[in-house]
Structure 1
Amino acid sequence: MKAFVLRSYGSPDQLELTEIDKPVPGPGEVLVRVRATSVQPYDWHFMRGEPYTARLLPGGPGLRRPPFSVLGADIAGEVEAVGAGVTEFTPGDEVYGMPKQGGFAEYACAPVSQLAPKPGNLSFEEAAAVPLAAGTALLALRDHGRIQPGQQVLVNGASGGVGTFAVQLAKAYGAEVTGVCSTHNVDLVRSIGADEVVDYTKEDFTRTGRRYDLLVDIAGSRPLRACRRVLARKGTFVCVGGPAGRWLQPAGHVFATLAAGAFASQRVVVAEVVKCDTRRNLLTLTEFIEKGEVNPVIDRRFPFEEIPAAVRYQEEGHAPGKVVIAV
């Protein structure tokens, strides 16, 4: 099968299109014919092995070489074959989720726990935009933020992959939502349901005088001490990410937030972005999607052969919504 293989850390030029063996599903696994995948920071952090300090952490990039050779955290496609013990899926089923071997390939294996039936109202490309970004937003709001109907919620970084899902999910949970983004994306963020939009090029959201029950910080553009000015006395701050960097960021921002949070009167947590309880989360997302309450925002589509260009574009950090690949 064709796949983009990463043999050493570096730029998108290190992604080599080559022929490799088709994976074989083991017990509890499913082989998927990939029809679409997406590109996100998760991919290029592992491509570059950055931040360098993350190479020392469990689950991070390997110390000297990438921990896996095929990137691509999201897939949507058709079941090709199933491993021993799999009863949830049969060949031909349309699925989406997060694979064991990356999605930058024609085929990928994934444990049953990382897959769910594809939403019936989405194309493969639209479905491939969902798993990691929407799953992160769901965890940030539901699990870590403990969102409740009627709450005031602010999403800092509302126009990105995670942010566009966070705005829509917060509205679906019955919250009043304020999104923070640049001038270029104000109309987009308003169109996906934000009740208020703060243009950070014109206004500092930490000095608006408003108070929020839940602040989901994806951009990491302001320190916790500033964000606490707009948090309600019993509010919750959820740190999802931060600015990219070669040596320490975004890990430095996350650690600084945790350290400062230990002395804060409000609740401060870091969102879990690893692949945990994925199937349950995907099934929840499917409910929202099929009811029309959540829709993926796609900025650009690239053909499979242009995956390096897609990664390069996404790495620039200005894509509103998601960048997807048709395989």
Structure 2
Amino acid sequence: MKAVIQNGYGAPGAVLSYGEAPTPTPGPDDVLVAVRAASLNAREWHLMRGDPYVARLTPGMSLRAPRGRVVGTDFAGTVVAVGTGVTDLKEGDDVYGEVDGAFAEYVRAPRRLVGVMPANLTHEQAAAVPLAGNTALECLRDEAKVVAGQRLLVNGASGGVGTFAVQIGRALGADVTGVCSTRNVDLVRSLGAGHVVDYAREDFVHSGRYDVVLDLVGNRSLKDLRRCVTDGGTLVLSGGGTSTGGSLVGPMGLFIRGSLAARFSRRHRILTPQPKPAREKFDALTALLEAGTVVPAIDRTYPLSAASDAIRYLEEEHARAKVVLTIGQSGTFRTPRVL
């Protein structure tokens, strides 16, 4: 099968190639999916660059290259085979999910990491959802426990996770303030933010105090972020940008400081969640998506063969919302032989 393969760490043109990789075979609790679309996350950039350096010590990476050679996480496509233990999906079902190796014609995914694709979405739209949607949902619903009437600030509101966080926050009944650049003010407002802070004109640290602050950028000090949180409120630290490389700890430094501060903070909660995909979350997201409460926002699309260009755009051009890879059209896939 065709796939985007990584060899080493570095710039996209130097370490990524479009070539052949073995077609995966599903295990008893897996599904094999013909991928129609996949989306980019900051995760792909960090894995490609091996940044921050300390992350190379984690189980999925090594000092010289990621352990998994096929790039990508988010996908949407059509089931072409199911394992013997999967009883609620069948060949021909459209699904979406989050698993390593998504930038390929086929992906093997455990059933627990796959959701039934919302009937009102295209494959491109569905592929934009998994990691970003799951992260926003867990941070706001499960960790911060946002309730109606609370004031919510989303720093990084025009990014992949941010565009979902604005909409999910509003669905939970919060009064949402989004922080973004000048060119994205209209986008963030259209997603349901009641207030938008253009960081080129105003420092959000001085824009007021909020019951919940969700920081998705990692560009401000912990002290600044805590100043925005009300007494008894919640600060959620999740994610970091792609604007710099070659760092030792990157956004992990803020998470470490936040985790330490959380042990001693009596004025408010400080959370550093590590969101994981789960079937229940996909069910919740599907309900929001089919109701039209949440709508994926897509910046632009690229063919799978141009994945290097897509990642270069992500890291150099301050992409907003989601960047999506398209992988063929219905009927163009050859059904693999599953042993």
TM interval, short-chain normalised: over 0.9
Alignment of 1:225-244 (within 5 A): 225-244=223-242
Instruction: Give yes or no for the alignment of 1:139 onto 2:138.
Output: yes
Tell me whether 1:127 sits opposite 2:126 in the alignment: yes
- Corresponding residue of 2:47: 46
CA–CA separation in structure 1 for the residues paired with 2:296 and 2:312: 21
2:62 and 2:147 map into 1 onto residues whose CA distance is 39
CA distance in 2, matches of 1:36, 1:317: 22
Q: Distance in 1 between matches of 2:25 and 2:160?
A: 31
Structure 2: how far apart are the matches of 1:243 and 1:36? 23
Q: Which residue of 1 aligns with 2:63?
A: 63
Distance in 2 between the 1:248 and 1:159 partners? 24
Q: Equivalent residue of 1:65, what SS?
A: coil
Q: Is the 8 A contact 1:224 1:260 kept in 2?
A: no
8 Å Cα contact 2:157/2:166 also seen in 1: yes
CA distance in 2, matches of 1:281, 1:216: 19
Q: Residues of 1 paired with 2:238 and 2:8: CA distance?
A: 28
Q: How many residues align?
A: 322
In the TM superposition, residue 60 of structure 1 has moved relative to its aligned partner by 4.8
8 Å Cα contact 1:223/1:257 also seen in 2: no
Equivalent of residue 268 in structure 1, options 267, 270, 291:
270
How far is the alpha carbon of 1:56 from its aligned partner? 1.9
Whole-Å Cα distance in 2 between the matches of residues 39 and 16 of structure 1?
16
Can you give the 5+ residue segments of structure 1 that lack an aligned partner in the other structure?
A: none
Provide the C-alpha distance between the structure 2 equivalents of 1:186 and 1:286, rounded to a whole number of angstroms. 27
Is 2:46 the partner of 1:37?
Answer: no
Matched ranges for 1:1-327 at <5 A: 1-13=1-13, 14-57=15-58, 59-99=59-99, 101-208=100-207, 210-244=208-242, 245-246=245-246, 247-264=248-265, 265-273=267-275, 275-276=276-277, 278-316=278-316, 318-327=318-327
Q: Deviations over 1:76-125 (max 9, x none)?
A: 000010112111210000000013x4111100000000001100010000
Name the Cα RMSD after superposition.
Answer: 1.3
Asked whether the 8 Å contact 1:243–1:249 carries over to 2, the reply is: no
- State the 1:63 CA deviation: 2.7
In structure 2, what residue type is equivalent to 1:70? V
Give identity over the alignment, percent.
49
The aligned amino acid for 2:212 is: L
Distance 2:37 2:240 in 1: 27
Instruction: State the distance in 1 between where 2:302 and 2:123 align.
Output: 13
TM-score, normalization: structure 2? 0.92
Q: Aligned partners of 1:164 and 1:243: how far apart in 2?
A: 15
Quick one: structure 1 residues 129 and 309, their matched pair in 2 at CA, closer, same or farther if it must change by over 3 Å? Answer: same
Conserved? CA contact 2:42–2:241, under 8 Å: no
Deviation at 1:271, TM superposition (A): 2.2
Question: For 1:140 and 1:288, how far apart are their aligned partners in 2?
Answer: 16
